[in-house]
Amino acid sequence: MSFAAWITFVIAACIISVSPGSGAVLSMSHGLSYGVRKASATIMGLIAGLLLLIGIAGAGVGSLLLASEFAFSVVKTVGALYLIYLGLCQWRAKTAAGLGVDAASGRPQTPSLRRRFMTGFLTNATNPKGIIFMVAVLPQFITQGRPVLPQLLILAATMVTIDCIVMHGYAFLASSMQRFFRDAGAVKKQNRVFGGLLMAVGAALFFVKRGNHA
């Protein structure tokens, strides 16, 4: 892989990371609700899901998913329903005292580290748009005739670094607005905004087609 090809990949990775999507919405939601430090667990889950997608693409499994209408539809449906489920849970999150809100701070009680991590992981791991992007883009930066694994590791490290920075940036921007969401009423509005966004992104996944990667 040439340096020019790597720089081109960096630009493409920055664009796809900055583009609003389920990962960005989740990072902002958890950043606003729990702060950047605790949102890091969610972001590490997103990164783990991203690494899984890169591995799937590198192993050629992603191409098989795109070739099979049934397999792709299953992944797409699972991903869409999971995001809608997350959005619905956040939309309906209770904000009355003693029902999911810390009495001292007025902020939502923080889920366990494991739950935050798994939420991030499943959000990316079940994203068909992520599979399409990896299968469509990664091969274009793999130099034929050279060992594939080292090149794939370079691309994975690059993508992970960029995504980690961008997602933490989204979480930081959202967390900087925490002072405006101190009371239960504001928290309820926040939950409905991000819950609605997650459900909208999930619903949009139903319209993703295999041919969109061409």
Asked whether residue 73 is domain-assigned, the answer is yes
Asked whether residue 186 is domain-assigned, the answer is yes
Asked whether residue 6 is domain-assigned, the answer is no
- Residue 12 carries which DSSP code? H
pLDDT digits (tens, 9 = 90+) for 148-174: 888 889 999 999 999 999 999 999 988
Asked whether residue 34 is domain-assigned, the answer is yes
Closest CA to 127 of 198, 60, 193: 198
State how far the alpha carbon of 144 is from the alpha carbons of 19, 98, 151, in Å: 30, 60, 10
Question: Alpha-carbon distance 105 to 183, whole Å?
Answer: 9
Asked whether residue 8 is domain-assigned, the answer is no
Asked whether residue 11 is domain-assigned, the answer is no
Q: How many domains does the chain have?
A: 1
Amino acid letter, 129: K
Question: Alpha-carbon distance 84 to 88, whole Å?
Answer: 6
Q: Of 19 and 183, which is predicted with more confidence?
A: 19
User: What is the structure's pLDDT at 152?
Assistant: 87
pLDDT digits (tens, 9 = 90+) for 40-50: 999 999 999 99
Q: Does this model's pTM top 0.85?
A: no
Asked whether residue 76 is domain-assigned, the answer is yes
pLDDT digits (tens, 9 = 90+) for 112-147: 999 999 999 999 988 877 877 777 777 778 777 788
127 alpha carbon, distance to own chain's centre:
8
Which residues neighbour 53 within 8 Å (Cβ) at sequence distance 6 or greater?
A: 62, 124, 125, 127, 130, 131, 134
User: What is the structure's pLDDT at 213?
Assistant: 42
Q: Which domain holds residue 109?
A: 23-213
Could you tell me the pLDDT band of residue 184, with boundaries at 50, 70 and 90?
low
Q: Span 41-63, mean pLDDT?
A: 87
Asked whether residue 2 is domain-assigned, the answer is no
